[in-house]
């Protein structure tokens, strides 16, 4: 068995997310597995670094899969890209160590959330930007971000109410950058709960709108209750930027 | 009457082109006129610098319109962008000289055509790139471009067979740039016939694929016959970059 690692980019707009859902569902994983099956004549299971929700995009999604027959990485790259729709692309593919597993070996991830702040939309990137057309108090948002850094129980920032596993995660970095007509929030951590990045962003935006203060963050965290945090920001503004191993 | 000049960007994918077609048709001009009518309570006619075909995009489309009542440019900008769909944006709006007319005063235009040459698509820009995944002989294409520069009768590069007006135009510049995974063709001229840029690009691509030689260009030009030139390249790769006054 040969093990392969690949880097996948996608515009998630049209898809029901990364992860295959039974036999139905228009998913990125499903599209890729179908093509690898066509190529090899066998079912090939793809392991992604993690799910991305419906409508979320990827610049850095990483996955691995095993083939019974050894094939050249470039040969697979050519074949797969020939059959993929135009909103999914495999950027890189290479042989990996037998033990490499894209999800289990992931050490950290970075997500980017983009907010359109100008009255005019960015017409060429509007599929990847949550456009609000308003301005935010970025200094207050940065102050709030400080409270989120480090290791906490992020249960209040998780949409899955029946989460049985640990909801403790570590956030290493939150960068809030103001660009021309755009606010960009990059969040790096060791892993993220269901909807966690979008709830973090939704809460930070409410702070930027003066609907909340930065000081509410410790209170929200310690409450361990989803209802204390802000709204879940829309999927379209979110992109998985990088997976670290 | 106040005269206003505006700069409009759009992702043309969803539209039947710039120009309003009777009462039907999902056009950029139609969307803008509807919003100006809502704003003023009167019919406002918008004059674009020229048509763009269905599926063609704009970074630099310019238009003018007149209002009976003087309004602040910024006020119109805010109002219009509030009601425009996310794939159309007014980037700038300012009062113009009474005599300014976006079509009649246009001195030149630049169009950009983008071709995807990598096996993997550019998933975030695929709506604006004609993806072929092949490589081209760019030196031969540049040689062909030399033959197109200057003032010629471009009848062979016009899809409108019943064109009664002059088909003589001047091309000032053709830049063919190779980027990572992309071939970019910028064409500047005093004006362009129906489908002219797309037929020029289609012909250049056939030369880049060695299906034709650069020396065929003078023959195609002098034949004054659309059938001599290459295929019309798809609309999606084309963007109106700039209109000069």
How far is Cα A171 from Cα A232, in angstroms, rounded to an integer? 18
Average pLDDT over residues A209-224: 97
Return the number of other C-beta atoms located less than 10 Å from residue A169's C-beta. Answer: 19
Q: Smallest CA–CA separation between B154 and chain A, in Å?
A: 31
Alpha-carbon dihedral B162, B166, B172, B173, rounded to 10 degrees: 10
Residue A25 has pLDDT above 90, yes or no: no
Give this prediction's pTM: 0.92
How far is Cα B110 from Cα B189, in angstroms, rounded to an integer? 7
Q: Give the residue from B31, B61, B83, B120 with the most A CB atoms within 10 Å of its CB, the best one to mutate.
A: B120
Confidence at residue B24, expressed as pLDDT on a 0 to 100 scale? 60
Residue A23 has pLDDT above 70, yes or no: no
Q: Please give the ipTM for the structure prediction.
A: 0.87
What is the DSSP secondary structure assignment for residue A21, as one 8-state letter?
B
Average pLDDT over residues A181-191: 97
* Cβ distance of A9 and B91 shorter than 8 Å: no
Taking only the tens place, the pLDDT of each residue in A3-18 is 999 999 999 999 999 9
Residue whose pair of structure tokens reads 């939150």 in the numeric block: A174
Taking only the tens place, the pLDDT of each residue in A151-184 is 999 999 999 877 788 999 999 999 999 999 999 9
In 3D space, the residue among B106, B10, B121, B124 whose CA is nearest the CA of residue B56 turns out to be B10
Taking only the tens place, the pLDDT of each residue in B16-44 is 999 987 766 799 999 999 999 999 999 99
Chain B residues near residue A91 by CB distance under 8 angstroms? 120
Range with lowest mean pLDDT among A20-24, A82-86, B115-119: A20-24
* Cβ distance of A57 and B120 shorter than 8 Å: no
Average pLDDT over residues A27-37: 96
Helices (H), A53-130: 73-83
Beta strands (DSSP E) in B57-207 are 57-67, 88-96, 108-116, 130-131, 150-153, 168-179, 182-189
Burial group, residue A160, by CB count within 10 angstroms (0-12, 13-18, 19+): middle
Which residue ranges in chain B fall short of pLDDT 70?
A: 23-24
Residue percentage of chain A with pLDDT more than 70: 99
Taking only the tens place, the pLDDT of each residue in A85-105 is 999 999 999 999 999 999 999
Residue whose pair of structure tokens reads 């962008």 in the numeric block: B81
Strands B238-244 and A130-131: unpaired
Confidence at residue B23, expressed as pLDDT on a 0 to 100 scale? 65
Using CA atoms, how far residue B181 sits from A77, A137, B121, B157, in Å, is 15, 39, 8, 27
How far is Cα B70 from Cα A190, in angstroms, rounded to an integer? 57
Residue whose pair of structure tokens reads 């894209």 in the numeric block: A102
Q: Are residues B60 and B243 in contact, defined by beta-carbon separation less than 8 angstroms?
A: yes
Q: Is B126 on the interface with A (CB under 8 A)?
A: yes
Residue A24 has pLDDT above 80, yes or no: no
How far is Cα B103 from Cα A42, in angstroms, rounded to an integer? 59
Burial group, residue B19, by CB count within 10 angstroms (0-12, 13-18, 19+): middle
How far is Cα A31 from Cα A80, in angstroms, rounded to an integer? 10
Confidence at residue B97, expressed as pLDDT on a 0 to 100 scale? 95
Q: Are residues A109 and A53 in contact, defined by beta-carbon separation less than 8 angstroms?
A: no
Q: Is A78 on the interface with B (CB under 8 A)?
A: yes
Q: Which two tokens stand for residue A174?
A: 């939150």
Q: Are residues A144 and A207 in contact, defined by beta-carbon separation less than 8 angstroms?
A: yes
């Amino acid at each position: 068995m040969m093990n392969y690692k690949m880097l996948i980019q996608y515009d998630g707009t049209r898809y029901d997310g990364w992860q295959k859902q039974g036999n139905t569902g228009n998913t990125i994983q499903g599209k890729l597995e179908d093509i690898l099956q066509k190529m090899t004549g066998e079912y090939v299971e793809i392991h992604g670094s993690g799910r991305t929700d419906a409508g979320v995009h990827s610049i850095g999604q990483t996955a691995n899969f095993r083939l019974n027959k050894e094939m050249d990485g470039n040969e697979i790259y050519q074949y797969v890209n020939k059959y993929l729709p135009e909103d999914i692309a495999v950027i890189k593919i290479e042989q990996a160590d037998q033990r490499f597993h894209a999800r289990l070996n992931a050490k950290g991830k970075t997500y980017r959330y983009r907010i359109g702040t100008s009255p005019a939309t960015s017409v060429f990137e509007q599929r990847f930007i949550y456009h609000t057309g308003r301005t935010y108090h970025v200094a207050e948002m940065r102050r709030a971000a400080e409270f989120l850094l480090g290791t906490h129980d992020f249960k209040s920032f998780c949409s899955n109410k029946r989460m049985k596993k640990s909801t403790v995660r570590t956030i290493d970095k939150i960068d809030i950058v103001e660009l021309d007509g755009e606010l960009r929030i990059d969040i790096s951590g060791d892993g993220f709960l269901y909807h966690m990045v979008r709830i973090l962003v939704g809460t930070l935006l409410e702070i930027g709108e003066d609907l909340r203060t930065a000081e509410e963050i410790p209170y929200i965290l310690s409450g361990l209750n989803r209802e204390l945090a802000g709204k879940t920001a829309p999927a379209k503004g979110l992109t998985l930027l990088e997976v670290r191993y």
